[in-house]
Amino acid sequence: MQAPQPILATELFPALNSKLIELLTSLAPEEWARPTVCAGWTVKDVASHLLDTTLRRLSSQRDGYRPPANVDLSAPQALVAYINRLNGDWVQATRNLSPKILLQLLEQTGEDLVCLFRSLDPQGPAMIGVSWAGEETSLNWFDIAREYTEKWHHQQQIRDATHRPAITSREFLYPVLDTFLRALPYAYGSVEAPEGTAWEVAIEGDAGGSWFLRKRAQRWELWLDLPNASARASVPIAPGRSGTPPFDAKTASKWGPLCDRGLIR
């Protein structure tokens, strides 16, 4: 049996950032105002949100700055409401910034973020656990991979809104899918099944693969293959009608457990 390995996404950020800058530089003025799948947010708002998440990461993790929340965040609902408020406040406050300024800030802070991630031990403890995968504490590689999915899916939302080609080559998309699917054991935690029961998620296309859930010792485990066991059921996910595996840009940008606005959009 082959266990999933750490997802080392740090060196994907420079190319993904370059694609973002190239994309935004190509936009006509009216395209910045187009609506996206994030309700109430335009293309410019999503670009501003990408800047916000980078600045918050640099401020907290690189610079050690912790502003007081002034609210009890122990309840999941309170945390979601707090994050939504932070996101909304930032987008509202930066609507007076020009696209040119956003571009300059995104380019500089993108480089700073890569430097931060390169300075971290992938196997060291992360600043924040990946809660949607059921982890209160995580390793840096998983936290960085989560951040990669954040940057990828918001760029996809901009590409979808402006009718630009999606980024769905295996190099860029497989790590996103692999990161999302690390949440399967947690998501299936309350599902009862006999010991040894196995389920397969098979994503077709060049960027796809197979992931297996197996019930063992009263918990679900994730594997990349189960050579001596047959899956009780298989969930195939086919490429989108555009021919890009395994989703078109709109579906991909909304799929997954990571939507930082608190809801799957």
Among the residue ranges 116-130, 168-182, 199-213, 247-261, the one predicted with the least confidence is 247-261
Q: Would you state the pLDDT for residue 137?
A: 96
Give the confidence band of 70 by pLDDT, cuts at 50, 70, 90: confident
Q: How many CB atoms lie within 10 A of CB 179?
A: 24
Residue 21 is encoded by which pair of tokens? 């800058």
Top-confidence residue, 237 or 210: 210
Q: Would you call 9 helix, strand, or coil by DSSP?
A: coil
Residue type, 201: V
On whether the CB atoms of residues 58 and 109 are closer than 8 A, the answer is yes
pTM of the model: 0.88
Residue 254 in tokens: 């909304």
Separation in Å, CA 42 to CA 55, 158, 221, 225, 248: 20, 9, 40, 42, 20
Q: Which domains does the chain have, with CATH numbers?
A: 6-169 (1.20.120.450), 183-246 (no CATH)
CB 122 within 8 A of CB 139: yes
Which of 97-101, 108-112, 167-171, 251-255 is predicted with the least confidence, judged by mean pLDDT?
251-255
Between CA 178 and CA 222 the distance in angstroms is 11
